[in-house]
Amino acid sequence: MDRLKVDLGARSYEIIIRSGALVELGLQLRSIGEFSRLMLVTNPTVYELYGEQLRKGLGVDEKRLVLGLVPDGEEYKNMEQAERLIDLAVEHHFDRNSLILTLGGGVIGDMGGFVAAIYQRGINFVQVPTTLLAMVDSSVGGKVAVNHPRAKNMIGAFHQPRLVLIDTATLNSLSERDYRSGLAETVKYGIIADPGFFEYLRDNAGPINRRDETALQYAIHRSCEIKAGIVEDDEREDGLRAILNLGHTFGHAIEAGSGYGTYRHGEAVAIGMILATRLAHRLNLLSTADMQSILELMQVLGLTLPVPNLPPKEMVDLMYQDKKMRNGRLRLVLPTGIGQVTIRDDIDRSLLEELISQQG
């Protein structure tokens, strides 16, 4: 069993990575404490695939277990669905010693974690991600949220899980599209922090495309390790953690402008990473050789997607609604080399509009 620790003092927790880990969930939960009630937050698709297996692995009294089903899709990551889960918690007398367990992708993890953060001013929750994107990104770090109709993740909190349990066997049920979506965040870690990992992804693109278990196990481990290190240094995104947003300002605008659910989050981030890479090259921050290396890896992993047919001005307007704005200035993470990035807040919007129009 592969274990990593996110060291945050009293808020520390473990990330467990292993094929077949779902069957040991009950044992792992008992190691972190006893809970009065447990709400399983998931969607119908994931529940049909893994619900019975998870319930057996939990080994808890069914009277203490409440099922909170959320419809499948980014468009349902909203306050209405969060309030439905809160209603369930109130109806079943959840107290501060109760637990929320999320089983699914980033939408489910963010939604369940958000409800845990605000219910009775915060109760415990555990992340059990079943998509590659959630495994390497959203399940780690404690950022939980729901979307506002005009901006992604605008309503949220920092609330660390008690445990992240990653069963890599669940990746076998992912569609090709959802699998590729997760690869975008994996590539991001190589670009922002680790040229050796970037080279690993490039050298093992074939096995990764085939979902080879050994290659994926390492890719997930290293992605989580990089993110854990950044979160330990900057839990609430006051500094270093902002580099995790490479491609996200463009990506969030694409998701909001196209209608939530049109693009997978990882697809939008992949487009955003390509735009950020081309912008950095245009600003002479990134060499032609490094730009080509990034674009080639994105292509070989099936992450070269067209920019959506949104008016450039509209897309830039949406970027300016991003929650990472500071004092009215748009902050963009841009690569300066493989394993290095910078944050710029002086990019003229006309240059952004021109860049987007040329990639359409």
Residue with tokens 């974690």: 113
Q: Which of 63, 121, 284, 327 is catalytic?
A: 121
Q: Which of 152, 188, 222, 248 is catalytic?
A: 248
Cβ atoms of 315 and 251 within 8 Å: the answer is no
Q: Which of 37, 43, 185, 188 is catalytic?
A: 185
Active-site residue flag, 281 = no
Q: Which of 74, 225, 235, 237 is catalytic?
A: 237
Q: Find, among 311, 74, 297, the residue nearest to 195 by Cα.
A: 297
User: What one-character DSSP code corresponds to residue 262?
Assistant: S
Q: What angle do CA 214, 217, 220 make, to 5 degrees?
A: 150
Q: Which of 162, 180, 227, 281 is catalytic?
A: 227
Active-site residue flag, 252 = yes
Q: Which of 222, 252, 264, 281 is catalytic?
A: 252
- DSSP helix/strand/coil, 125: strand
Cβ atoms of 319 and 271 within 8 Å: the answer is no
Q: Which of 37, 143, 152, 281 is catalytic?
A: 143
Active-site residue flag, 265 = yes
Q: Find, among 227, 347, 326, 331, the residue nearest to 283 by Cα.
A: 347
What φ, ψ does residue 167 adopt, rounded to 5°? -100, 105
Q: Find, among 3, 4, 94, 120, the residue nearest to 41 by Cα.
A: 94
Active-site residue flag, 245 = yes
Please name every residue paired with 156 in a beta bridge, in sequence order, or none if there are none. Answer: 145
Q: Which of 159, 188, 241, 281 is catalytic?
A: 241
Active-site residue flag, 148 = no
Q: Which of 245, 255, 264, 281 is catalytic?
A: 245
CA dist., res. 238 & res. 234, Å (int) = 6
Q: Residue 68: what residue type?
A: G
CA dist., res. 50 & res. 346, Å (int) = 47
Cβ atoms of 72 and 129 within 8 Å: the answer is no
Active-site residue flag, 227 = yes
For 40, half-sphere exposure in the C-beta direction (CA atoms, 13 angstrom radius) is 26
CA dist., res. 192 & res. 198, Å (int) = 9
State which H helix or E strand residue 215 sits in: helix 213-233
Active site residues: 121, 143, 185, 227, 237, 241, 245, 248, 252, 265
